[in-house]
Structures are given as structure tokens and as C-alpha cells.
Amino acid sequence: MQREEWESLLGSLERTRDEVVKLFPEGPSPVAARCEHSRHRTLAHLRACQEQWLEVVAQFLNRDNPSVKILHPWRKFAQEGYDGVPWGEHMQKFLQDRAAWLELRSLPEWNRVGKMNGKPETVASLTRRLALHEEQHLAYFR
């Protein structure tokens, strides 16, 4: 991946962060089965994805060619009871983790490799995954 694409991905993360911040706060909805049914559920899911993938990125940056096992973000969501966590708590953690991700902007090694749940990834591929995933979810609220 070239520097221009890397910068573009980080720009996308900034835009989606700003879009998430502008969402009207919503409490948990017991009838919301999917993200598109609830802004709260969407924020909680985006938080879970970012947390899990940021953990992998940190391992990639701290060790050469690590193999990291994580829970799927939906399993993390369920295990941690994210559907019942208050909006403000989700938003605070989402923004904290987003700031950590955006601090990678000056990283000279965004192509650092490793495995996530047995599959090859890079810091850049996980950043791309996050950016595209968020775009897809936020499209429901535009």
C-alpha cells in the first residue's frame, strides 16, 4: 500500500468518527435485532469491531509476525453485554480507540504483517477493513 492510500484510509476513519459523533444518542432497544434497527446497536458494534482489530494492530506493531486470536466482534458484543451499555460509555470508548488508531498516521510500517485467527493481515488491511465496515453500517443512517 502506498502512502496516499494509507492517508485516504485514515481520512475515512476521521470522517466516520465525525459521523458517529453526530448521531443522535439513543438508549438500548430490546427489539433491535440488527444494527440498521438501532443507532445504539450500531455504535456498540462499531466499538466492538474497533476494539478487537485495534488489539490485533497493537500486536502486529509490537512483535514480528505474530499470530493473534480474537473473538469475532459479534461474540465480543454478546459476551460483554454491549446491547445494554449506555450510549455515553460506548461513545467514550469508541472515541478513545479512534484516537489511538489515528495516532498511527505517521507510522512508517503500516504494512507490518501477522495473522488474525489464522489468516494473514497487515496493519493497513485491518485499517481498510475498519474503514469499509464503518461506511457500510453508517449508510443506514444517511
| pLDDT tens by residue, 90-132 | 999 999 999 999 999 888 888 899 999 999 999 999 999 999 9
pLDDT at 135 over 90: yes
Q: Say which residue the cell 496516499 belongs to.
A: 4
Q: What is the pLDDT of residue 16?
A: 97
Report, as an integer, the average pLDDT of 7-34.
Answer: 92
Q: pTM higher than 0.85, yes or no?
A: yes
Crossing angle (nearest 10°) for helices 87-102 and 39-62: 30
Query: How far apart (Å, rounded) are the C-alpha atoms in residues 114 and 136?
Result: 26
Q: How far is CA 124 from CA 4, 41, 93, 112, in A?
A: 12, 26, 22, 8
| pLDDT tens by residue, 29-73 | 888 877 778 899 999 999 999 999 999 999 999 999 999 999 888
Report, as an integer, the average pLDDT of 74-91.
Answer: 92
* Ranges of each domain in the chain: 3-15+48-141
Q: What percent of the chain has pLDDT over 70?
A: 100
